[in-house]
C-alpha cells in the first residue's frame, strides 16, 4: 500500500465484517452520475464517516478487496468520505474510479492545502462534503471539483447565497439530502447540476394534474396481473391484449439472461417457460419500465429492492413463498411511478393480506424484510431489527450477500428489460 507520492503507510488488519450501502447521485436529467459508498463495521450500527485511524480505514479496504467495485457502481465513479489521515495517506484505489469527499470536520491548514494540491495534480477528483462557506475554505476551493451543499441544513436563501459565493470557482454544485421533487426543481433552477437524496423514490404531486390515461391503463393491467386467483392462461390473456408488452416479454425470454434452449417465438411459449410466478413479476417490471416519464434509475431501484427482499426471504421461506417478497419490493415504489399515494394505488389491486400489511404498515415477515431492505438502502442500519432477522436465520452475512447479489442481478436485468 502506498501514498500517492510513494511514501509507505502502515495498516492494522482487524477482523471486521462490513455492511455496504450505495446511494445514487443524479444529474439534471435524473440519470445516475455516480454513487456514494458508505460502510458499517461490526463495532456500531452507523455509516462509517471514516475517522482516520488505520483500523477504520482497513474496514473500507476490506470491503473493496471482497467485492468487485465494477459490480457495485458499474461504470460510475464512487464517492468516498475522506478525513485528514486518508487525505494524507490515500488508499491504493484507481484515482479515475472514485471521488475524494473531504469531510467538513477536517482542519484546514497549509499542510492540508498542500496535500489536496498534490492529489489534484495527480488526477484525483475532489469534493467538499456538507460545505458551509467560511473564508478559511477559500484556498481549498481552488482544488475542488465538486461542492456538496446540505439542503436540510441550509434554507433556500442560504443556498442562493452559497451559489453566488461559489460562482467565481470552477466547481459543480451538488445538492445533497434532497427529499422532495420541489427541492430538486428549486436547486436545479439555482444552477445545481448534481443531486443526492430520496426524492426519486417518492411521488411528485403537482396541483391540478390528473393521472394520464397511459398510466391508468398500466394500473389496470397491474391489477389484473396481481389477481391471486388468476391462472396462467388468464394472465397470458391479459398480456396478449397489450402487443408491446407481449413482444417485450418474448424478447426478454430470448435474452442471454434466460438462456432458452431454443428461440421463443410466441407469447404462449414465453409464458409456459416462465411459469405463473415469474410471468407476474416480469410483466409487472416491464409495465413499470414502460412509463416514459420516469427515469431508468427508478426501475433500477425497484428491481434491486425486489431482488434483495426475495434473496433475504430465501433464508427462511420456500422459493414459491419468496416470490411474494420480490413482488412486495417491486410494488413498494408504485407511488413514485404513478405520483399517487401508495394506499390509493393498492386499493385497486387484489393483493393478499400479508402483502398489503407489509406494504402499508410494515407488519409481518414481509413488512420486516421490506423495511430492513429500505433501511439498508439508506445506510440506516441502526433502524434494522437484527434480533428479529436473526430469529428468521438472517444474519449480517446473509444480508450483505443479498445486497451485493441484488445490485449485480438488477443491473443485468434492467439492462435486458431496457433493450426488450
Residue 26's CATH number? 3.20.20.450
Residue 9 lies in a domain: no
Residue 8 lies in a domain: no
b vs e for 157-176, b when ≥16 Cβ sit within 10 Å of the residue's Cβ? eebeebbeebeeeebbbbbb
Whole domain around residue 155: which residue ranges? 18-201
Rounded distance between C-alpha atoms, residue 256 and residue 259, angstroms: 5
Q: What is the mean pLDDT of the chain?
A: 86
Residue 206 lies in a domain: no
Residue 373 lies in a domain: yes
* Whether residue 248 sits in one domain with residue 152: no
* Whether residue 190 sits in one domain with residue 332: no
- Cα angle 181, 186, 191 (rounded to 5 degrees) comes to 125
pLDDT value at 209 more than 80: no
**How does pLDDT run across 391-418, given as a tens digit for each residue?**
999 998 899 899 999 999 998 888 888 7
User: Lowest-pLDDT range, 129-143, 166-180, 200-214, 245-259?
Assistant: 200-214
Total domain count for the chain?
2
Residue 381 lies in a domain: yes
- Count CA within 13 A, CB hemisphere, residue 146: 26
* Whether residue 225 sits in one domain with residue 114: no
Contact predicate 236/267, CB 8 Å: yes
Q: Which residues pair with 125 in a beta bridge?
A: 99
pLDDT value at 100 more than 70: yes
Residue 299 lies in a domain: yes
3-state helix, strand, coil in the chain (%, to 5): 50, 10, 35
Contact predicate 119/98, CB 8 Å: no
pLDDT value at 6 more than 80: no
**How does pLDDT run across 250-275, given as a tens digit for each residue?**
988 888 777 767 888 899 999 998 88
Q: Give which of 417, 371, 402, 332 is closest to 20, Cα–Cα.
A: 402
CA distances in angstroms from 152 to 54, 179, 379, listed in the order given: 32, 9, 18
Give the other-Cβ count within 10 Å of 391's Cβ. 11
* Whether residue 154 sits in one domain with residue 69: yes
User: Lowest-pLDDT range, 161-175, 203-217, 345-359?
Assistant: 203-217
- Tell me what pLDDT residue 335 has: 94
- Among 201, 223, 248, residue at a domain's last position: 201
Q: Which residues pair with 352 in a beta bridge?
A: none
Rounded distance between C-alpha atoms, residue 91 and residue 4, angstroms: 8
CA distances in angstroms from 3 to 9, 86, 118, 353, listed in the order given: 7, 10, 11, 57
Arithmetic mean of pLDDT, 353-373:
96
Put simply, whether the predicted model's pTM sits higher than 0.75 gets the answer yes
Q: Which residue carries 492529489 as its cell?
A: 119
* Whether residue 95 sits in one domain with residue 225: no
Residue 299's CATH number? 1.10.3210.10
- Tell me what pLDDT residue 184 has: 97
- Tell me what pLDDT residue 52 has: 43
Position 171 confidence tier, pLDDT thresholds 50, 70, 90: very high
* Whether residue 359 sits in one domain with residue 270: yes
* Secondary structure element (H or E) that encloses residue 25, with its range: strand 18-26
* Whether residue 265 sits in one domain with residue 140: no
- Among 171, 201, 231, residue at a domain's last position: 201
Arithmetic mean of pLDDT, 218-236:
89
pLDDT value at 4 more than 50: no
Arithmetic mean of pLDDT, 117-133:
94
* Whether residue 272 sits in one domain with residue 179: no
Contact predicate 134/107, CB 8 Å: no
DSSP letters, 164-191, are HHHTTS--EEEEES--SHHHHHHHHHHT
Residue 7 lies in a domain: no
* Whether residue 239 sits in one domain with residue 353: yes
pLDDT value at 49 more than 50: no
DSSP 211: P
Q: Which residue carries 444480508 as its cell?
A: 399
Task: Determine phi and psi for 126, rounding to 5 degrees.
Answer: -120, 130
- Among 160, 178, 201, residue at a domain's last position: 201
* Whether residue 258 sits in one domain with residue 143: no
What is the three-class DSSP state of 39?
strand
Q: Give which of 409, 388, 399, 410 is closest to 21, Cα–Cα.
A: 399
Residue 328 lies in a domain: yes
* Whether residue 295 sits in one domain with residue 191: no
* Secondary structure element (H or E) that encloses residue 299, with its range: helix 296-313
* Whether residue 221 sits in one domain with residue 193: no
Amino acid at each position: 500500500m502506498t501514498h500517492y507520492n510513494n511514501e509507505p503507510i502502515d495498516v492494522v488488519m482487524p477482523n471486521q465484517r462490513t455492511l455496504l450501502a450505495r446511494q445514487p447521485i443524479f444529474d439534471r436529467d435524473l440519470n445516475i452520475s455516480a454513487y456514494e459508498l458508505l460502510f458499517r463495521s461490526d463495532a456500531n450500527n452507523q455509516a462509517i464517516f471514516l475517522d482516520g485511524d488505520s483500523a477504520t480505514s482497513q474496514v473500507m479496504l476490506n470491503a473493496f478487496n471482497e467485492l468487485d467495485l465494477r459490480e457495485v457502481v458499474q461504470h460510475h465513479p464512487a464517492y468516498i468520505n475522506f478525513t485528514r489521515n486518508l487525505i494524507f495517506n490515500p488508499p491504493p484505489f484507481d484515482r479515475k474510479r472514485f471521488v475524494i469527499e473531504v469531510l467538513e470536520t477536517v482542519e484546514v491548514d497549509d499542510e492540508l492545502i498542500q496535500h489536496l494540491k498534490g492529489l489534484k495534480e495527480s488526477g484525483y477528483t475532489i469534493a467538499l462534503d456538507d460545505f458551509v462557506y467560511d473564508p478559511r475554505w477559500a484556498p481549498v476551493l481552488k482544488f475542488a471539483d465538486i461542492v456538496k451543499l446540505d439542503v436540510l441544513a441550509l434554507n433556500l436563501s442560504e443556498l442562493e447565497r452559497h451559489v453566488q459565493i461559489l460562482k467565481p470557482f470552477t466547481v459543480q454544485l451538488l445538492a445533497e439530502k434532497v427529499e422532495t421533487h420541489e427541492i430538486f426543481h428549486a436547486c436545479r433552477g439555482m444552477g445545481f447540476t448534481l443531486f443526492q437524496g430520496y426524492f426519486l423514490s417518492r411521488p411528485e404531486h403537482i396541483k391540478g394534474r390528473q393521472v394520464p390515461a397511459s398510466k391508468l391503463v398500466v394500473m389496470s393491467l397491474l391489477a389484473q396481473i396481481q389477481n391471486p386467483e388468476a391462472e396462467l392462461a388468464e394472465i397470458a390473456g391479459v398480456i396478449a391484449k397489450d402487443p408491446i408488452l407481449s413482444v417485450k416479454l418474448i424478447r426478454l425470454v430470448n435474452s442471454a439472461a434466460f438462456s432458452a434452449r431454443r428461440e421463443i417465438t410466441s407469447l404462449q411459449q414465453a409464458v409456459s417457460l416462465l411459469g405463473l410466478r415469474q410471468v407476474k413479476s416480469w410483466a409487472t417490471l416491464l409495465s413499470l419500465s414502460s412509463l416514459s416519464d420516469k427515469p431508468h434509475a427508478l426501475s433500477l431501484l425497484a428491481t434491486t429492492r425486489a431482488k434483495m427482499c426475495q434473496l433475504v426471504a430465501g433464508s427462511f421461506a420456500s422459493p414459491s413463498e419468496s416470490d411474494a417478497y420480490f413482488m412486495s419490493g417491486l410494488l413498494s415504489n408504485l407511488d413514485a411511478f404513478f405520483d399517487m399515494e401508495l394506499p390509493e394505488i393498492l386499493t385497486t389491486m387484489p393483493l393478499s393480506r400479508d402483502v398489503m400489511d407489509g406494504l402499508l404498515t410494515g407488519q409481518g415477515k414481509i413488512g420486516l424484510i421490506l423495511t430492513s431492505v429500505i433501511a439498508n438502502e439508506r445506510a440506516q442500519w441502526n433502524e434494522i431489527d437484527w434480533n428479529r432477522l436473526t430469529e428468521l436465520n438472517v444474519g449480517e452475512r446473509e444480508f450483505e450477500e443479498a445486497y451485493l447479489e441484488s445490485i449485480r442481478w438488477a443491473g443485468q436485468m434492467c439492462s435486458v428489460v431496457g433493450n426488450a
